[in-house]
């Protein structure tokens, strides 16, 4: 695994390098910094660079896995649709990364995240995160992936423990919002709505308008019968995702949430006023 400071220095080196001299590793590093800018345009550009990297080295596991992790961003934000073909490609590349990158912690946790969101293959995803942590026990992102896979398996306690470990290991991480909102999600799944709201609000204080935390806040407030707050958060969410409906929400997350967790979310957003169709 590339540790954060080394990763940043390597990225800066790759960005300074003339484009005609780029190899697969340089393209991967450039894509990594674009992916972490969290915009639709930067993620699109990151995927383009990663496909160039795979054209140079088809067996380069980190590039294959990062394509899927980039698609996870597109799916989780909901603004850029991920087609069935793109999802299938992400799944295939994640499985390829697991085969050829079994000794690369970054490739493993990114592949795990992809298989969780797009394939619902939680057993395979959990095994990948376990191996990533065996290789790199101080990887905050591998702990994040474990947190989410245990959440998807309806294990809220272990999910929260894993995400809290990620926060301790990397308190200023670029993906901190993913750590904190993951804790909110785990509390929601366990019916601890006050705690879920607290963590959603923490996330929104650090990043106002973050869609994942807005959804968490809508659901938590609705279940707490704080309907004015739920509707206010829902209006902000719909402003950033015009045309959002319960049907669209379920289509986005059907493979990622258990039946029980999906029911909690659907009940919450419906109570807040999100239309079914």
Q: Could you tell me the CATH number of the domain that includes residue 81?
A: 1.25.40.10
Tell me what pLDDT residue 78 has: 67
DSSP string over 143-163: HHHHHHHHHHTT-HHHHHHHH
pLDDT in tens, 231-260: 999 999 999 889 999 999 888 777 778 889
- Has residue 197 been placed in a domain? yes
Q: How far apart are CA 253 and CA 100, in angstroms?
A: 28
- Residue 181 belongs to a domain: no
Same domain, 163 and 213: no
Candidates 144, 225, 244; CA nearest to 186 is 144
The residue from 152, 174, 196 where one domain ends is 174
Q: In terms of domains, do 162 and 207 share one? A: no
pLDDT per position as a tens digit, 79-138: 678 999 999 999 999 999 999 999 999 999 999 999 999 999 999 999 999 999 999 999
CA angle 147, 151, 157 (to 5 degrees): 75
> Residues 40, 78: one domain?
yes
Q: Is 179 a member of any domain?
A: no
Tell me how many domains the chain contains.
2
> Residue 226: how many CA atoms within 13 Å on its side-chain side?
14
Cα 216 from Cα 182, distance rounded (Å) = 9
For 158-199, the DSSP string reads HHHHHHHHHHHH-TT-TTHHHHHHHHHHHHHHTT-HHHHHHH
Same-domain pairing of 156 and 191:
no
Please, what's the b/e burial string for 191-229 (b: 16 or more CB within 10 A of its CB; e: otherwise)? ebbebbbebbbbbbeeeeebbbbbbbbbbbbbbeebeeb
252 in any annotated domain: yes
Instruction: Using the predicted structure, report yes or no on whether residue 14 has a pLDDT greater than 70.
Output: no
- Centre a 10 Å sphere on the Cβ of residue 245 and count the other Cβ atoms it contains: 15
Residues 150, 54, single domain; the answer is yes
Residue ending a domain, choose from 174, 200, 219: 174
Say if residue 140 is in the same domain as residue 222: no
Predicted pLDDT at 7: 54
Residue 21: the pLDDT is 41
Phi first, then psi: give them for residue 197, nearest 5 degrees: -65, -40
Confidence of residue 8 (pLDDT cuts 50, 70, 90): low
Statement to judge: residues 133 and 193 lie in one domain: no
- Determine, yes or no, domain membership for 271: yes
What pLDDT, in 10s, does the model give residues 166-201? 999 999 998 999 999 999 999 999 999 999 999 999
| Residue 208 is assigned to a structural domain of this protein | yes
Is 192 in the same domain as 163? no
Question: Which of 112, 141, 174 is the C-terminal boundary of a domain?
Answer: 174
Say if residue 19 is in the same domain as residue 117: yes
Q: How large is the average pLDDT for residues 28-46?
A: 91
Contact 63, 69 (CB under 8 A): no
Q: Answer yes or no: do 153 and 208 share one domain.
A: no
Average pLDDT over residues 202-230: 96
Q: Domain with 257 in it: what CATH number?
A: 1.25.40
Say if 180 falls within a structural domain.
Answer: no
3-state SS, residue 86: helix
Question: Would you say residue 6 has pLDDT above 50?
Answer: no
Task: Please check whether residues 145 and 246 belong to one and the same domain.
Answer: no
Q: Using an 8 Å Cβ cutoff, are 211 and 239 in contact? A: no
CB atoms within 10 A of CB 82: 20
Q: Write out the two tokens for 202.
A: 């923490």
Whether 165 and 230 map to the same domain: the answer is no
Contact (Cβ atoms closer than 8 angstroms) between residue 203 and residue 220: no
Q: What is the rounded distance in angstroms from the CA atom of residue 252 to the CA atom of residue 111?
A: 19
Instruction: Classify residue 3: in a domain, yes or no.
Output: yes
Handedness of CA 209, 171, 44, 18 (dihedral sign): positive
- Coil/strand/helix, residue 249: helix
- pLDDT score for 22: 64
Domain that holds residue 98: 1-174
pLDDT in the model for residue 77: 77
- Would you state the pLDDT for residue 19? 40
């Amino acid at each position: 695994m590339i540790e954060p400071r080394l990763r940043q220095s390597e990225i800066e080196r790759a960005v300074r390098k003339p484009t005609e001299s780029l190899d697969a590793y340089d393209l991967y590093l450039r894509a990594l910094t674009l992916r972490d800018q969290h915009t639709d345009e930067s993620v699109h550009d990151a995927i383009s660079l990663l496909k160039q990297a795979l054209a140079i080295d088809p067996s380069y596991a980190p590039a294959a896995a990062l394509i899927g992790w980039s698609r996870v961003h597109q799916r989780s934000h909901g603004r850029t649709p991920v087609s069935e073909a793109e999802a299938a490609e992400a799944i295939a590349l994640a499985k390829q990364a697991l085969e050829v990158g079994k000794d690369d912690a970054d490739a493993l946790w990114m592949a795990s995240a992809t298989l969780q969101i797009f394939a619902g293959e939680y057993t395979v995803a959990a095994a990948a995160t376990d191996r990533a942590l065996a290789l790199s026990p101080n990887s905050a992102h591998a702990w994040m992936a474990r947190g989410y896979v245990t959440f998807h398996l309806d294990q809220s306690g272990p999910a929260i423990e894993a995400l809290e470990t990620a926060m301790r290991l990397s308190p200023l991480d670029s993906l901190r919002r993913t750590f904190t909102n993951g804790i909110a999600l785990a509390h929601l799944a366990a019916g601890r709505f006050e705690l879920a709201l607290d963590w959603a609000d923490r996330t929104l204080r650090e990043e106002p308008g973050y869609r994942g935390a807005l959804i968490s806040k809508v659901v938590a407030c609705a279940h707490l019968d704080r309907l004015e707050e739920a509707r206010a958060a829902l209006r902000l969410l719909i402003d950033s995702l015009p045309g959002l409906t319960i049907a669209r929400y379920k289509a986005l997350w059907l493979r990622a949430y258990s039946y029980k967790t999906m029911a909690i979310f659907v009940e919450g957003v419906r109570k807040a006023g999100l239309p079914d169709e």
